[in-house]
Structure formats: C-alpha cells, structure tokens
Amino acid sequence: MTGSHDSFSYWVDKKSPVGPDQTQAVIRLAQISLVKKLMKKWSVTQNLTFREQLEAGIRYFDLRVSSKPGDTNQEIYFIHGLFGIKVWDGLMEIDAFLTQHPQEIIFLDFNHFYAMDESHHKCLVLRIQEAFGNKLCPFCSVEIMTLRSHFEREERGHGEEMLDQSQTETQKIKLQILFLHA
C-alpha cells in the first residue's frame, strides 16, 4: 500500500505560531523571522494536496493534529512544526474523492495529537463521522479483515456503525486507523 509521511504538510502557515509539537528551544528561536522561514521549508514535506496524492495512488495518510493555542473554538488543524490546513478541509477533500471512486479504500492514521484535551478528541471523532458517515468501515480487528470480506459484508447489507474511538491522550489510547470506503 502506498502512503505518505506528514501527508497534510503540503501547506503550512508561516504566520501561525510555532506548533506545540516543537521544543521550547525551537519556539524561542522561531521568534527570529529567518528561523521561521527555515521552519516552513523544513515543515513542508509534501508538494501535493490530499486530492493530488489520492490521484497519484496514495491510500495511507500519516496525520498529525493539534488545537491552536489561544483559539477558543474546538477547531483542529494538521500540524508539522507550523500549523497547516483545518482538519475539516482535508477530510472534505478525501470525502469528495471517495464519492467519485466508490471502490477505493483509504487509511487515515491519526497518530500524533498535540494540545488536545478530551473535548478536542470528541470533536475530532464527530468531525470524522460527519465527514464520512456510512463510508467509515466498522471497527474490527485488522488481523482478520480482508478487502474481500469487507465488500462481501457490504453486499449482504450488514453495515455497522463505527464504534466510538474518541479515546484521549490522558487515557494513553490513541485514535485507531480509520478505514474508509465509499
């Protein structure tokens, strides 16, 4: 399966604060404008949008997310040194692709969470469920799931709701990989 590292980092906002995924030393150094310009070059690890990555055959996405310090809303952003696009915007790109390509399966691996409390995690799960709805595959053991068994189950009309996977960092359980299909 083809995947991308820091999949969302095709754009980061050099005007945003340095992300909570960085050390205090980097945060202090970034007050120098030249350092922040260098950070932007380091933070951008992809040159294709989600849609372009999907069209190029990427099906596994490495996703790191954070709330933005000082924001009073529950908005969550992709992050890699600097803040990227809103998670919602990225999910909408992926959902549009899935709608046009109903036999595709995409893996979203939310594997780093920064500056997120339990309410942020719940908001993230609700956003994922809102974005993909019945395109979310049922929660099951990945050791026993195959593409054949998944599509056979769908054909028989045995769709299931995804189990709530909104565990928090404080509980030391992270959001599992999400399997998506149209």
120 catalytic? Reply is no
112 catalytic? Reply is no
- Name the CA dihedral angle for 151, 182, 134, 49, rounded to a multiple of 10 degrees: 130
Which is catalytic among the residues 80, 120, 121, 181? 80
In whole angstroms, give the CA distance from residue 157 to residue 92: 26
For 144, the 3-state DSSP assignment is coil
DSSP structural state of residue 37: H
DSSP alpha helices (H): ranges in the chain?
Answer: 24-29, 33-43, 50-55, 87-100, 118-132, 147-155
In whole angstroms, give the CA distance from residue 43 to residue 37: 10
Active site residues: 5, 80
